[in-house]
Structure 1
Amino acid sequence: MISDLVLVPAEGVPLAGDLVVPGPAQAVVLIAEGAVSSRSSPRDRAVAAVFHRVGLGTLLLDLLTERERREDTRSGRHRFDIPFLARRLVSAIDWLRQRPETAEVPVCLFGAETAAAAVLLAAAERPERVSAVVSRGGRPDLAHDALACVRAPVLFIVGGDDETDMRLGREATEKLKGPSEIHTVPGATHLFQDPRDLGEVATAARDWFVSHLGKEQHSA
């Protein structure tokens, strides 16, 4: 198993990440949140551990630097700049292509909060590399017209007690041209704070990624 603290160059800025490749990986899942540090998030680490058990590598990536996070805490400016976040995700996708242990494996994207919109933009930008996408309680509406350009299969995981996320997920599936589904976690809220709810999120995302590996999804 490879487990490294890495720095991913993105438009001249080094982004901190944790890369885990459990032997010959089936794919690498890039995990990101809009403003929260994915590397230190216990929820994201728990989800990543579920992926590792089935041979999926993970890159938990901080989309913002420390200074940018401090700025964002005051203003919220960066977390809602979806093209900005998406460019950093695209840089990470390209960086994975350059590493020998991940160069030949597909990339899957897992986004939460506003990064859920950013992963959709990134999937539209790199259709030849992205095999599947999962949005966890996010804001797919912020992807706007890019939704129609996404070819990878997309799973929206929403809390059963969050009517807004349910509505946003339904509206997004209507705009997507590729395969998409909504997975509802009964009784869950937007944050999926109950460990059982988070376990269902991880299992649903794992099954989605594994079921779509090796399939051609990028036809026009």
Structure 2
Amino acid sequence: MDVRSSEVTIPAGEARLTADLLMPAEPVGVVAFAHGSGSSRHSPRNVAVAHVLNGSALGTVLVDLLTPAEDAVDARTAELRFDIGLLAGRLAGIVDWLAAERPFGPVPIGLFGASTGAAAALVAAAERPDLVKAVVSRGGRPDLAGPALGTVRAPTLLLVGGLDEQVITLNEQAQDALPETAELTIVPGATHLFEEPGALEQVAHEAATWFTTHLR
């Protein structure tokens, strides 16, 4: 698989965010990742999913939504990782940068969010309805997007582990608030982090299918 990798700095408001771009030879779309609480762009789960998306001709952006200074504060207080407004604003800035700079070409944009990053992705999708064309949530907390759920226009796939009962309930509630283009898929036998054999592979396959369907 011919995939080029590069590290870039993306302006998002007053912040400058470090991101890894993974670019297939002829991308048909690009997906920006919003990692979960306490994680980073080096999350092995998101990197694994990104590689599967690359194999489906999708470019990927793995990005840290907090600056190093903010990350140091968050490591002590855990307060910024739950600041959905801040994270969504950063993600919207990344979407704007992708649309303006077009590092992957003039391709449609999708968002992939894990845990609290799912809420940030949905709020950003609501704020950029003409730019964000699809959203996937992995073990996410879409409920934390609040009233923004009702204004999301992008087709949304909610992926939850079958053993993650509390999060299933929260995702069912979020699905009811989202437009009819939202789907909930339960991964049998999987817990919150999808560490069981084959679970993350199913997540990656479902995400790749969703994005290639809605971004082409």
Shorter chain as denominator, the TM-score bin is: over 0.9
Q: Distance in 2 between matches of 1:46 and 1:112?
A: 13
Quote the Cα distance in structure 2 between the aligned partners of 1:109 and 1:122.
9
- The answer as to 2:159 corresponding to 1:157 is yes
Distance 2:68 2:192 in 1: 25
Residues 100, 142 of structure 1: CA spacing in aligned structure 2 closer, same or farther, 3 A cutoff?
closer
Unaligned runs of 5+ in 2: none
Bigger mean CA offset, 29-38 vs 171-180: 29-38
Given residue 8 of structure 2, which amino acid in structure 1 is its aligned partner?
A: V
The 1:104–1:171 alpha-carbon spacing in structure 2 relative to 1, beyond 3 Å, is same
Q: 193, 213, 216: which one pairs with 2:215? A: 213
Determine the C-alpha separation between the residues in 2 that align with 1:161 and 1:37: 22
Q: Match of 1:39, SS?
A: coil
State the Cα distance separating 1:37 from its structure 2 match.
4.2
Equivalence map 1:1-220=2 (5 Å) = 1-214=3-216
SS in 2 for 1:79: helix
How far is the alpha carbon of 1:196 from its aligned partner?
1.3
Q: When the two structures are superposed, what TM-score results if normalisation uses the length of structure 1? A: 0.93
Query: 2 CA distance for matches of 1:19 and 1:184?
Result: 29
- In 2: Cα distance, 1:173 partner to 1:35 partner: 22
2: CA distance, partners of 1:105 / 1:30 = 13
| Structure 1: gaps (5+ residues) | 215-220
Whole-angstrom CA distance in 2 between matches of 1:196 and 1:136: 15
- Distance in 1 of aligned mates of 2:182 and 2:188: 19
Amino acid at match of 2:212: V
Indicate conservation of the 8 Å contact 1:152/1:178, yes or no: no
Secondary structure of the structure 2 residue equivalent to 1:20? strand
Q: Distance in 2 between matches of 1:40 and 1:2?
A: 17
- What is the total number of aligned residue pairs between the two structures? 214
Q: Is the 8 A contact 1:35 1:69 kept in 2?
A: no
Partners of 1:49 and 1:38 in 2: CA distance: 16
1:17-63 CA distance string (max 9 Å, x none): 00112122111000121334442111111101100111000000111
Q: Which amino acid aligns with 2:72?
A: R
Amino acid at match of 2:205: T
- Please identify, of 97-106 and 13-22, the stretch whose mean Cα deviation from structure 2 is larger: 97-106
Residue 88 of structure 1 aligns with an amino acid whose one-letter code is R
Hey, what's the Cα distance between the residues in 2 that align with 1:99 and 1:23?
Answer: 18
Deviation (angstroms), 1:72: 1.1
Identify which range, 114-123 or 101-110, moves more after superposition: 101-110
By how many angstroms is 1:124 displaced? Answer: 0.3
Counterpart contact for 1:131–1:212, Cα < 8 Å: yes
